[in-house]
Structure 1
Amino acid sequence: MKNKLLYALFLFVSMTAASQTDLTWDDLAKIDYTEKYFPAYESNFLYPEFSQEIINLQGKQVSLSGYYLDVAPNGDLFILSKNPLASCFFCGNGGPETAVELQFKTKPDFKTDDVVLITGTLKLNKDDVEHFNYILTDCSGFLLK
């Protein structure tokens, strides 16, 4: 009996340690920006300074819910947004911290503005202005409503 209890405790701890961290949009909002000039574009861009809390999650599996946006005409840019398409940060509501780039293993069957829960590996991006500051790689997800 004692061995079974010890085994069950070990399984519980192992499963908990391997599970993803649930992120919120408030977590992602803990970011500061400075303007930085990028010569290749002859323009200034907002350069992110991530919180230590988020830096500690880099390379780890996380989950975040939001609005799914399929914004590229050729279907190769997927975004998870705090807001639906009509009020996403491209339209002036919020900043870059209100959207996450999604890189899926397999393209999902979601539609724009579906509310979804996405799980993926967190990648922080400071220097590549052609990608978002927050990126989830190897994504999977499911429809919430």
Structure 2
Amino acid sequence: MMLISMSAVGQVHLTWENLANITYTEKYFVAYDSNFLYPEFSTEMSNLVGKKVSLSGYYLDISPTGDMIILSKNPMASCFFCGNGGPETAVEIQFKSKPSFKTDDIVVITGTLKLNKDDIEHFNYILTDCSGYILK
């Protein structure tokens, strides 16, 4: 059973355990001539699509141009790309206006949840119209 909490204003507070409730099957993508993990999202997560959610984690700016920013369960030195966890341990975040956070700042991000099954250029979990703050 997944526990998702809601604030007084109706915002859903997610945990990394909520995001880990996902299964994968291999799917062949013709454009890449390769198999990729195809996500099957839980009903609980599917029901949150389009809703405001918040999640805390490590801020990682992973592209030289600042075009790909993620929230990670782990710091940069032990993130998903380094083999420490699966795709469910990182969330793509798209800000309204980019904050001045630094890599490995521990932050709380609020945004609108989108689930991505088919676009392998993006993460499985995406938060759009994001805002956030650093945890101190």
Question: TM-score interval w.r.t. the shorter chain?
Answer: over 0.9
Taking the aligned partners of 1:52 and 1:19, their CA distance within structure 2 comes to 19
Higher helix share: 1
| Uncovered stretches (5+) of structure 1, i.e. residues with no partner | 1-14
Match of 1:4 in 2: none
Structure 1 SS opposite 2:81: helix
- Which residue of the other structure, out of 60, 69, 72, is the alignment partner of 1:69? 60
Q: Which structure dedicates a bigger proportion of its chain to strand?
A: 2
Q: Which residue number corresponds to residue 126 of structure 2?
A: 135
Distance across 1 between alignment mates of 2:10 and 2:40: 27
Q: Deviations over 1:20-41 (max 9, x none)?
A: 1000000000000000000001
The answer to whether residue 103 in structure 2 is matched with residue 117 in structure 1 is no
Larger radius of gyration: 1
Gaps of 5+ in 2: 1-6
Q: Output the CA distance in 1 between the equivalents of 2:11 and 2:35.
A: 35
Q: Which secondary structure state, in structure 2, belongs to the residue aligned with residue 46 of structure 1?
A: strand
Question: 1:76, CA displacement in angstroms?
Answer: 1.0
Equivalent-residue separation in structure 2 for 1:31 and 1:121 (angstroms): 19
- Provide the alpha-carbon RMSD of the alignment: 1.0
Task: Spell out structure 1 runs of 4+ moving beyond 3 A.
Answer: none
1:32-111 aligned at under 5 Å gives the runs 32-111=23-102
Q: Please, what TM-score do these two structures have when normalized by structure 1? A: 0.88
**Identity percentage over the alignment?**
76
CA distance in 1, matches of 2:110, 2:66: 20
After TM superposition, give the deviation of residue 19 of structure 1 in Å.
2.7
